[in-house]
Amino acid sequence: MRKEDVLNALKTLEEKSKKRNFVQTVELIINFRDLDVRKPENLIDIKVNMPHPTGREQAKALLFARSLQFASSVKNLFDKIIMEENIPNLSKKEIQEILNYDVLLAEGPVMITVGKHLGQTLAPKGKMPKPVNPDKEEVERLLSSMKSAMRITNKKGKGLPYVQVVVGKENMPAEHIAENVMEVFDEVVRALPRHSQNIKSVYIKKTMSPAVRII
């Protein structure tokens, strides 16, 4: 897929779209071919870090911290902060609730305590936190990157022969939407068993607009 093709499709989409009294989302639809979605190995479930925020980021973030000063400096960036000293005393219910968070970070040294007390629950679910230094700017950059990750899957019911994902809002620059589209497309192709040979067609649309074909 060429970026030029995506930009041309976005231009056509703009021309065909009626003005609505709300800001519409822009969605990418990738249709598959020669893919038996009844087989588990043909189902994809990936997370893609978008180059640009899509306006749909609602990820809940949790931090495990040791330093009270660090925890205080970043408290507005997280939905929940758990201090290291409290980890051994977490109830089963509280531990299960941790699995509901999308982004988990831990102040570097706290990883040992997390692994000791929570590893058996978090590791099998792929929820072990990412270690960070007690630096607010570093945490802000990391959160921005991790919260922009979009889950893309065709694991719905018995499996779908396509994926559909939000790649932006109509008031975003076309260049930004196009770059998000390219990133999603490349990651989906990489995840497919026969890569680009499993791509049948690609469309882009707004919430309430006809779809425009890219390829």
184 and 206 share a domain? Answer: yes
Q: Can you give the CATH number for the domain in which 113 is found?
A: 3.40.50.790
Instruction: Mark which of 147, 178, 198 sits at the end of a domain.
Output: 147
Tell me what pLDDT residue 5 has.
Answer: 97
SS3 39: coil
Mean pLDDT for the stretch of residues 169-185: 97
Predicted confidence band of residue 157 (pLDDT cuts 50, 70, 90): confident
Task: Inform me whether the pLDDT recorded for 13 exceeds 70.
Answer: yes
**H or E segment to which residue 34 belongs:** none
CA distance 151 to 100: 15
Tell me what pLDDT residue 56 has.
Answer: 63
37 and 141 share a domain? Answer: no
Predicted confidence band of residue 173 (pLDDT cuts 50, 70, 90): very high
143 and 157 share a domain? Answer: no
Q: What is the pLDDT of residues 39-76, one digit of tens each?
A: 999 999 888 988 888 876 557 899 999 999 999 999 99
116 and 76 share a domain? Answer: yes
32 and 75 share a domain? Answer: no
Tell me what pLDDT residue 57 has.
Answer: 58
Q: Which alpha helices (DSSP H) does the chain contain, by range?
A: 3-16, 68-73, 92-98, 111-122, 136-147, 174-191
Question: β-pairing, 130-132 with 103-107?
Answer: parallel
Q: What is the pLDDT of residues 75-131, one digit of tens each?
A: 999 999 999 999 999 999 999 999 988 889 999 999 999 999 999 999 988 789 999
CA distance 40 to 45: 11
84 and 132 share a domain? Answer: yes
Domain tally, the chain: 2
102 and 166 share a domain? Answer: no
113 and 133 share a domain? Answer: yes
CB 76 within 8 A of CB 136: no
Q: Which domain holds residue 40?
A: 3-56+148-213
**H or E segment to which residue 157 belongs:** none
Q: What is the pLDDT of residues 124-154, one digit of tens each?
A: 887 899 999 999 999 998 887 777 778 899 9
CB 100 within 8 A of CB 79: no
The structure's pTM equals 0.69
Tell me what pLDDT residue 130 has.
Answer: 94
121 and 172 share a domain? Answer: no
156 and 108 share a domain? Answer: no
CA distances in angstroms from 64 to 110, 116, 149, listed in the order given: 7, 13, 21
Averaged pLDDT score across all residues of the chain = 93
Tell me what pLDDT residue 58 has.
Answer: 59
Instruction: Mark which of 125, 147, 169 sits at the end of a domain.
Output: 147
Instruction: Mark which of 147, 164, 185 sits at the end of a domain.
Output: 147
Tell me what pLDDT residue 52 has.
Answer: 87
87 and 160 share a domain? Answer: no
111 and 65 share a domain? Answer: yes
Predicted confidence band of residue 214 (pLDDT cuts 50, 70, 90): very high
